[in-house]
Amino acid sequence: MNQPVWHEPGVTRAQRWNKHGLAGATVWLTGLSGSGKSTIANELARELLNTSRLAYILDADNVRHGLNADLGFTDEDRAENIRRMAEVACLFADSGHVAVVPIISPFIASRAHARKIHEDRNLKFIEVHVATPLDECERRDTKGLYAKVRNGDMTGLSGVDSPYEAPTSPDVVVGANNESLQQSVAMIMAKLLVRVGA
């Protein structure tokens, strides 16, 4: 069987970053549905734009319309979804973008793999636990998923009838103490700027 051969690019990461003043990284937002991951991601991207940093949101739902359209919601498909998202985030971070990834990512092992592949490639990875309590997520029910599960119209919602393994040592925790959106973004920005040396 043929094996792919790695091709070193003619322009190195250091050359690209130094020429354009870039510093890539991945900010990985994990939490239950309705915890505020996407809201925080959008505000973080806006703040990065205001500080002249390139950022791109890799929204898990949006990516399921294209690259991950062939995946369902079994545990195996969720793990593959996260694996692909992590690989794409690595590419964006390597390019010099801050990849902002709001994704439930319910399994510790999958998130650990996402971190490892970044670290193996000498890329910064910041895991943010959006730790909004389940009862508040269900009260918000931004996508109507909790109501569907409670009514028996669907199954497999992380944290309700499917596992959600909360991070044991995330880089940043927001949402657990009623932090405002601005406070949450400021906490993430502070960690990000320390990590990328900006």
Give the active site residues. 105
Q: What is the DSSP string of 60-122?
A: HHHHTTTTTTT--SSHHHHHHHHHHHHHHHHHHHHHT-EEEEE-----HHHHHHHHHHHHHTT
Tokens of 49: 């734009």
- Reduced to 3 states (helix: H, G, I; strand: E, B; else coil), residue 138 is helix
Asked if residue 156 lies in contact with residue 90, where contact means CB atoms within 8 angstroms, the answer is no
Return the half-sphere exposure (C-beta side, CA atoms, 13 A cut-off) of residue 57: 20
Give the whole-angstrom CA distance, residue 139 versus residue 186: 25
The letter for the amino acid at 198 is A
Sign, CA torsion 26/118/193/173: positive
